[in-house]
Structure 1
């Protein structure tokens, strides 16, 4: 036997061995491995959750891109819709010889409105509404006996939304708040 593997009589009495003098016990090794396994499981679960969050975000962005991809084109078409409305308004009510023209322009306007609606583009409501700064742009205030202060009196230019987003605010005139002198 060599001196390295010999147990001294003192060690034999106390039950001490080389394992007790600095080398980790089996329980310590198992505890360290369990902690490492728990740490790796936690990291794996976090990575899986992050991957799922990225997948959901990309799916949501894909839906948004497909829903709102034509926003610029739609804004350009709104000018055409406005001009059709102006053309109808410019024709006299009793215009001999222009009935067919007026009917054609009205049919074109209806078709454009229908196409816009099929793509989720709708007109902002202004009739009888209170001013909503998220949907309306107040261009001027007017005195009105028939409207509450802050109520929309007239629509100057139609506003539109695409799905749930504002495409163009409605430009409106709003009833002015009454002062004591005017009441």
Structure 2
């Protein structure tokens, strides 16, 4: 009698062999089935695999944390570059501000009232206001000094002024304005500080 099922059985056996291809031979019997090995070797192998898996998880977590730290540092560096890119230029342009302020301060009242000079005075003052507006747009702001207590982080004491009118340590004179860019000191204010008269 001819066995019509033989080709189907051969195909099934090939499928089983394909599925068991990656299984080590010591776990297989001659029939191609998984055998139950004694517990010692398998439990040790399983423990080793668990340790390897735990180590791989830890390494993945460390790598992920390091990647996040690198990304945060890069974002902070880029933000700082945007915020403080104008620092060098701003320091240089402050001397223009100083000269303009001196010019405005030196204009006598008689010149301000003179019809011929009124346009020139107005133009100088408008230039100073425009420069201050541009400073503010770029986060550059003047440090408050007059009447404030001396702050060594923002003010540089150049002299002491004996007076009873202000508390000792109070700024009573500003020789040169101080400036900040965002939250960083661009230039300290040069000031005179009150002290008790001798």
> TM-score by structure 1 length?
0.82
Q: Does 1:156 align with 2:183?
A: no
Matching residue of 2:119: 100
CA RMSD of aligned residues (A): 1.5
Tell me, in whole angstroms, the C-alpha distance in 2 between the residues paired with 1:175 and 1:60: 41
Tell me, in whole angstroms, the C-alpha distance in 2 between the residues paired with 1:171 and 1:98: 32
Shift in Å, 1:99: 2.2
Tell me, in whole angstroms, the C-alpha distance in 2 between the residues paired with 1:141 and 1:100: 40
| Structure 2, unpaired ranges of 5+ | 1-37
Tell me, in whole angstroms, the C-alpha distance in 2 between the residues paired with 1:100 and 1:108: 12
Structure whose alpha-carbon radius of gyration is higher? 2
Q: Does 1:54 align with 2:73?
A: no
Number of equivalenced pairs: 158
Tell me, in whole angstroms, the C-alpha distance in 1 between the residues paired with 2:136 and 2:72: 28
Q: Does 1:115 align with 2:134?
A: yes
Secondary structure of 1:139's partner?
strand
Alignment of 1:16-31 (within 5 A): 25-31=41-47
Per-residue CA shift, 1:61-105, capped at 9, x if unaligned?
100001101100001111101111101112212123332221111
> TM-score by structure 2 length?
0.76
